[in-house]
Amino acid sequence: MPPTRRKLLWQGASLIGSAVPTSVLAGGQPLHVVELYQSQGCSSCPPANANLLELIGRSDLICLSFGVTYWDHLGWKDTFAAPEFTARQWAYARAFGRTNVFTPQVVVNGARDTVGASMQDLQATLRATPTLPGDIQLHATATEISLSGALPATPLDLWRVGYDPSLVQIPIRSGENGGKTLPHRNVVRDLTRLVPNEGKASSWQLPGRLRSGLKEVILAQDRGRQRILAALPRA
């Protein structure tokens, strides 16, 4: 895709701050949820993907990689992309007051974003983004999720995100990244909106088990502003 077009799509990304401390909230909940939106068909995405790989493993972060579909026409169909992941990125665009989406994009806690190709800028965005509040709690058993604490008056959505923690090498045979082999990790393979929550503490049955090898994180998210209010990792 022409550089001038990609530059237009990047407008409005936030680039601020420096490093964040490595710690977690009470109950083991992370401080930040880091979502990368990328496409294997986008030549600008590999640096942001490499930066995400560096962050994976920090106890204060949940790092997730979402493949989007809108670059599939460039000559390579992303092997992990799904329409629901593209729809999630569009929800962030609307919440940020934008009329377009772009790759690469890193969204932190649903509150702030950056291109993500520079580790310095990515660390800066982590530093500048408020941590998850800590006054809303997610709890889980093998079959049930519960939500309690200082719930806002605005509606919440609960999401189950299933991701593959293994490192996968994908050979790209055509398109902008043709001839490269791109490493992927924490690739999202399942995104399920559990239930809408209208501001009351409740509990819900989880849907069927994820396929073998996937880990999951449960997210409580403000439906309007798209801010993530709590995150609960599950093996």
Task: Give per-residue pLDDT as tens, 196-217.
Answer: 555 555 777 788 888 899 999 9
SS (H, E, C) 30-57: CCEEEEEEECCCCCCHHHHHHHHHHHCC
Q: Which residue in this structure is represented by tokens 């009329």?
A: 99
Range 124-139 average pLDDT: 92
Residue type, 172: I
| Residues forming beta bridges with residue 138, ordered by sequence position | 147
CA 171 from chain centre, in angstroms, equals 23
Report the distance separating Cα 56 and Cα 69, nearest Å.
Answer: 24
Q: Which ranges in 97-143 belong to alpha helices (H)?
A: 119-128
Task: Give per-residue pLDDT as tens, 142-190.
Answer: 888 888 888 788 888 899 999 999 999 999 999 999 999 999 999 999 9
Helix/strand/coil for 2: coil
Task: Give per-residue pLDDT as tens, 7-51.
Answer: 223 333 332 222 333 455 555 668 999 999 999 999 999 999 999
Q: Residue 132 burial by CB count (10 A; 0-12/13-18/19+): exposed, middle or buried? A: buried
* pLDDT given for residue 126 in this prediction: 97
Report the distance separating Cα 138 and Cα 48, nearest Å.
Answer: 30
Lowest mean pLDDT among 100-109, 117-126, 149-158, 224-233: 149-158
Record the pTM.
Answer: 0.87
Per the structure, how many domains does the chain have?
1
Report the distance separating Cα 70 and Cα 26, nearest Å.
Answer: 39
With vertex at residue 101, the alpha carbon angle to CA 174 and CA 83, rounded to the nearest 5 degrees, is 65
Report the distance separating Cα 93 and Cα 124, nearest Å.
Answer: 21
Positive or negative, the Cα torsion across 85, 87, 88, 92?
positive
The two structure tokens encoding residue 209: 């088990």
How far the first Cα of the chain sits from its last, in Å, is: 39
Tell me which residue range forms the domain holding 25.
Answer: 3-234
What is the rounded average pLDDT for all residues in the chain? 86
pLDDT at residue 92 is higher than 90: yes
Task: Give per-residue pLDDT as tens, 146-157.
Answer: 888 887 888 888
